[in-house]
Amino acid sequence: MAEAVKTGAEVAHEVGFPPFNAETFASQLFWLALTFAFLYWFVSKIALPRIGSVIDERRQRIDTNLAEAAGLKAKAEEALAAYETGLASAKVNARAIAEETRARLAGESEARRKVLEQELSSRIADAEKAIADTKTQALGHVGEIASDAASAIVERLLGSAPTAVDVDKAVKSALDR
């Protein structure tokens, strides 16, 4: 141990502070140039292009995927808009159909009501006419009945039947009063 220490100290003493020992400079520079040149070549020609291409590829993939997603989203929105306009027009159509049907049905029932009313009023008129006819007819018979009754009364009172002409005349004058 002591010997090793001595030799170490001796060497240090011999060459001084190792980093300032100019004898080793050429050798260190030689190996540094060799190794660093290789490292630079390896890094610039192999490692960095490889890593860079992977990163670029990933970025491109992400970009295209994002663009695709945006396109799909736009398409979906378009479809939604189309659906909504379709729905709105369908609603309008349905309302129009309902309106039309209601109007048609209302017209039909109105027409039927009119026809019915006409029929009823004509029937009423017929009936009124029949009533009037019957009434006049009945009224026509009233004179006859009155004449018969009058002649019968006179016959009972006087014992002899008056002439039909006289009875009619008397009934007429009584009716006219």
Partner 1 sequence: MASPTEQFEIRHFSDPFFYIGGSPITFTNSAMFMVLTVAVIAGFLLLATSSRSIVPGRWQNAGELLYEFVADTLRQSAGKDGLVFFPLVFSLFTFILVANLLGLLPYSFTVTSHIIVTAALSLLVILTVIGYGVAKNGVKFLNVFVPSGVPGWLLPLIVAIEVVSFFSRPVSLSVRLFANLLAGHIALKIFAGFVAALLAGGVAAVLSPLPLVFTVAIVALEVLVAVLQAYVFAVLTSLYLHDALHPGH
Q: Which residues bind partner 1 (CB under 8 A)?
A: 4-5, 8-9, 11-12, 15, 17-21, 23-36, 38-40, 42-44, 46-48, 50-55, 57-58, 61
Are 151 and 164 within 8 A, CB to CB? yes
Q: What is the Cα–Cα distance from 171 to 165, expressed in whole angstroms? A: 10
- Cβ neighbours of residue 162 under 8 Å, at least 6 residues apart? 151, 154, 155
Tokens of 33: 């140039």
Give 50 or 141: the residue with its C-beta nearer to partner 1. 50
| Nearest distance, CB of residue 65 and partner 1, angstroms | 11
Give 27 or 160: the residue with its C-beta nearer to partner 1. 27
> Cα 116 from chain centroid?
41
Region class of 16: left (phi > 0), else alpha (psi between -120 and 50), else beta: left
Give 17 or 159: the residue with its C-beta nearer to partner 1. 17
| Nearest distance, CB of residue 70 and partner 1, angstroms | 20
Are 146 and 171 within 8 A, CB to CB? yes
Give the angle subtended at the CA of 33 by the CAs of 29 and 37, to the nearest 5°: 165
| Nearest distance, CB of residue 35 and partner 1, angstroms | 4
| Nearest distance, CB of residue 73 and partner 1, angstroms | 23
| Nearest distance, CB of residue 8 and partner 1, angstroms | 5
Give 5 or 157: the residue with its C-beta nearer to partner 1. 5
| Nearest distance, CB of residue 83 and partner 1, angstroms | 36
Tokens of 172: 């007429």
Give 11 or 130: the residue with its C-beta nearer to partner 1. 11
Give 1 or 158: the residue with its C-beta nearer to partner 1. 1
> Cα 29 from chain centroid?
85
Q: How many CB atoms lie within 10 A of CB 22?
A: 8
